[in-house]
Amino acid sequence: MEQVSVALEPVRAFMVEVGQFFPKLLVAAIILVAGWMVAKLVRVGLAKGLKLVNFNVLAERAGMDDFLKQGDIKTDTVGILALLAYWLVILLALMMAFNSLGLTYVTDLVGRVVLFVPKVIVAVVILAIGAYFARFVARVVSTYAKNVGIEDADLLGRISMYAIMVFVVLIALDQVNIGGDIIRQTFLIVLAGGVLALAIAFGIGGQKWAGQILDRWWPKKGG
C-alpha cells in the first residue's frame, strides 16, 4: 500500500495543481467574455459618437476615405478608429486575463501593444484633421491667387497642400515613434536642397526664367 501511495503521489500533486489553476482559468475566461462584450459596445458607441460630431464628414472631405477605397479597404476612417478602439479593449481584457493566470511576461508583452494602440488612434485623427486643413488652405491660396490675377493658382494651392501634408505626416509618424530623427533629418535635407535649388535658379542661372515666372504671378500694372 505504501508503494501504491508513493506511486500515486505525482497524480495527487497534479490534481492539486489543476484544482488551483481551474478557478484562475475560469476567472480569465469570464474576463475575456466581458471584455469582448464591452469591446463591441465601445466599437458601436465610438462609431456613432464620431458620426454625431460629423467626424466622418471631415474625413471624407479630407480625402481619407477615398484613399482607403483606392487601397481596396472596405471600411472608412470612422470604421478604422472604431476597430482600433475595439482591439484596444480586447487587448486590455487579455492583459487582465493573463495577469490573473500569473503570466506576468505575457502580460508585459500585451501591455506594450496596449500602449501602442492609442498612439495609432491619435495618429489617424491627426492625419484626418491635418489633411482637411491642408485642403482648406489649398483652396484659400488658389482662390486668392486667382482673385489677384496670378497664373498657376492651382499649382500654388497644391504646393501649399503638399507642404502642410508633409508636416502632418511627420507629426503622425512621430506620434507612433516611427522614423524619428532619421525621417526629420531627411526631410530637412530635401527641404534645404529644394530651397538651394530655387535660390540658384533665381540668383544665378535662371534669372530670365525666374523673371518670367514673377511676371506671370505678379504682372506689372500699366506697363
pLDDT tens digits, 100-144: 877 778 788 888 888 888 888 888 888 888 888 888 888 888 887
Burial of 134 (0-12, 13-18, 19+ CB in 10 A): buried
SS3 call for 206: coil
- Phi/psi for 152 (5° steps) reads 60, 35
Burial of 50 (0-12, 13-18, 19+ CB in 10 A): buried
Q: Which three cell numbers stand for residue 16?
A: 492539486
Contact of 125 with 81, CB cutoff 8 Å? yes
Task: Report DSSP state, residue 63.
Answer: T
C-alpha–C-alpha distance, residues 184 and 198, integer Å: 21
Q: Which three cell numbers stand for residue 66?
A: 477615398
pLDDT for 37 = 94
Q: What is the mean pLDDT of the chain?
A: 76
pLDDT digits (tens, 9 = 90+) for 42-79: 999 999 999 998 888 888 888 888 877 877 778 888 99
